[in-house]
Chains A and B, each alone.
Chain A
Amino acid sequence: MELEKIFQDKIDNDSKIEPKDWMPDKYRQTLIRQISQHAHSEIVGMLPEGNWISRAPSLRRKATLIAKVQDEAGHGLYLYSAAETLGISRDEMIAQLHSGKAKYSSIFNYPTLTWADMGAIGWLVDGAAIINQIPLTRCSHGPYSRAMIRICKEESFHQRQGFEILLTLSKGSNEQKAMCQDAINRWWWPSMMMFGPNDDVSPHTAQSMKWKIKRFSNDELRQRFVDMCAEQIKFLGMTIPDPDLKWNESKGHHDFGPINWDEFWSVVGGNGPCNKERLEARIKAQEEGAWVREAAAAYAEKRKNRNTLKVA
């Protein structure tokens, strides 16, 4: 098929696919799903950290945490905008999130129990996100790749902010050190799960790679993450909660222990500690904000009519 060939040639030449270009239905569908779920993740991701804004230990910590959460809102916007170019509306996407039909990254279904969680999230969760997102800056879809470039620029302070929090705690009192290690213990394995199932049980990977939506496999990215964190944690004097974590000289990478996939699928399926709470918060925000949206539309309409009358 001629159109299909032109499309695949563009991809093979590393040209971008733009909104008006022809694309296979499945390519469009895959991207709508991936981009919208990415956008949902950013918005829902504001909730676990928003939890600690009112209890940050200093003004500087509060200001930087607010800035990070603001950034996540912006990231959600860039991604919703990119998804809308594929022919879905914002209202539809929000409805899918609220009905449970669309998913978001299941890392955000875990609770933030202490201030140290802010550090662990910045270091581990944003760290994993960055590893995932940098290859996406070169994905074949123009709007998605440009959104990712903007997001990656903003993301780097997020990880530094988190690590700085843990570094400060690691040099503090015994209680602070214990709190730091406890947060790492609780966020390590869920962060490892952020890269998705092993390659051999990910059926979509091959097609996504052919279409250059995905540039590296789940296991490759997860390995990168482990190698990076194993070095960084040395600065904290803490340990990664994996007794099997060990440098493998012949492979040039760290070996690591097994992931609890039962937990992964259970949380993805809706049974994580905070799934219900996260969705309720989003639905509540949408419903309680309705009057603002209505008022803005009514005001705009009123002003437009007033101007029309003036001209008449």
Chain B
Amino acid sequence: MQRLFRKIYYGDYGDKETGGNLHAASSSVSSESNWPLWEVFIRSKQGLDHKHVGSLHAADAQMAIENARDVYTRRQEGISIWVVESKYIHASNPDEAQSLYDPANDKVYRHPTFYELPEELKHM
């Protein structure tokens, strides 16, 4: 069985302790519970879409929603909460943004300002 090592140094806490090697992935089994990580998306009362506000660990979806309410909605009203386990989120690579979105860059005709029309023309 392969073991994955990720080196994490703790060097100089207060300059007195020495660093240690720990093999740990962030999903290592904890002594008591193994709560997955959830991403939280919230739509405010006036909002049109859900925005990503942060993450939390919870045992299941219901607990994730209740905790999301406690932690991320202390100053909002009339909201909708989505929680998704982080492992189900797939993201594009920001470094490839340039090439990924390149096809859109030269199509300026998708913008209304591309079209020149008489100023007197109304309601368009």
* Distance in angstroms between the alpha carbons of A154 and B53 in the assembled complex: 14
- Chain B residues with CB under 8 Å of A91's CB are 28, 30-31
Known: A84-B26, A101-B10. A297 touches B34 (CB 8 A): yes
* Distance in angstroms between the alpha carbons of A304 and B62 in the assembled complex: 12
Per DSSP, chain B at the interface is: loop
User: Is A89 a contact of B24 with CB atoms below 8 Å?
Assistant: yes
Q: Specify the chain B residue showing the minimal Cβ separation from A20.
A: B93
- Chain A residues with CB under 8 Å of B8's CB are 28-29, 32, 87-88
- Chain A residues with CB under 8 Å of B59's CB are 296-297, 299-300
One digit per residue, 1 when the CB lies within 8 angstroms of any chain A CB and 0 when it does not, for chain B 84-122 equals 000000000111000000000000000000000000000
User: Is A300 a contact of B60 with CB atoms below 8 Å?
Assistant: yes
- Give the number of chain B interface residues (Cβ < 8 Å): 38
Known: A33-B10, A88-B24, A101-B17. A296 touches B63 (CB 8 A): yes
Known: A25-B7, A297-B32, A297-B35. A81 touches B56 (CB 8 A): yes
- Give the number of chain A interface residues (Cβ < 8 Å): 42
- Chain B residues with CB under 8 Å of A71's CB are 74
User: Is A102 a contact of B71 with CB atoms below 8 Å?
Assistant: no
- Chain A residues with CB under 8 Å of B46's CB are none
- Chain B residues with CB under 8 Å of A303's CB are 60
* Distance in angstroms between the alpha carbons of A89 and B37 in the assembled complex: 11
User: Is A297 a contact of B93 with CB atoms below 8 Å?
Assistant: no
Does residue A92 face the partner (Cβ distance < 8 Å to B)?
Answer: yes
Q: Specify the chain A residue showing the minimal Cβ separation from B57.
A: A90
User: Is B26 a contact of A77 with CB atoms below 8 Å?
Assistant: no
18 pairs from A and B in contact (CB 8 Å cutoff): A25-B9, A28-B8, A29-B8, A29-B10, A32-B10, A87-B6, A87-B8, A88-B8, A88-B26, A89-B27, A90-B30, A92-B22, A96-B10, A150-B53, A154-B75, A293-B35, A296-B59, A297-B59
